[in-house]
Structure 1
Amino acid sequence: MPALLSALSWIFGRLKLGELAGFVIKKIAFSKIVLIEIAMFALMVIYFGALLAIANFLFGQLFDIFNFTKSLTSPTGGNEITSIALAVLSSLGVFKAFWDVFNLYAPIFISLFLMIGAKIGIKLLEKLRYSISGLIKTYV
């Protein structure tokens, strides 16, 4: 039996299957890393798309509130006291001043929101990538 094992080890040593197995394992690990990077890029694109959708939603809600206050100041409003109070505020220019300031500072607020969200997202995705790559190194 030992002669048979030594003969088999000599044959496999000559065929260099160990190097072939190492080569195949390295290619499999590389393909896993490439797939993980593609998945991480897709997650990043989805995350930033969600951030933009949230910003779009918030501004849509603000414009809906603005249109609601405009409809309250119309002469056909249901409540006379509310209509008069809002008409006074509108004639003083409160709503126009608010929207002028809002339009002036909206790009700054959007940029801050997106920068903070992007920083959080990048840190999360980076930690996820390191943990997955650490698992790959452990099993390969």
Structure 2
Amino acid sequence: MDYSRDVQVACQKILDNCTDCGACVSECKLLQEINEDLTALAARKPSVEEAYSCTLCGLCEGVCPSSLSPRYMFATTRKKAVSDEEVPIEEFKYMFPDRKRNVMKMYREVNGIDYKDLKVDLSLYAAPESCLP
């Protein structure tokens, strides 16, 4: 699949709708480190390194008064990089939690940790009671 179009669409949406209010930059350490306004970043398109430096937490979306998604721009840039073989994805597959053998499962096995051993403090979650176990 060619993700070039997805990256272009994501960047163009920011170029067309961003007011450069700076809300996303003020909340995001990565955007602060890049030290460019969002429209300039979208105009030149993020680098692969920038895309993989984004945690994809979505905070930028949450504070944007225009409901834009720099996160989506970074995510599609990642997809394009993998599709274009700019990233040796095979070297990182062990980290993916949807795989049978992943780093989290191996860590738990080595350290004798099972999910039933994990204690969850539900008071830390801001979810409706109907969503809690």
Normalised by the length of structure 2, the TM-score is 0.24
Q: Whose radius of gyration is greater, 1 or 2?
A: 1
Normalised by the length of structure 1, the TM-score is 0.23
Q: Which has the higher helix share?
A: 1
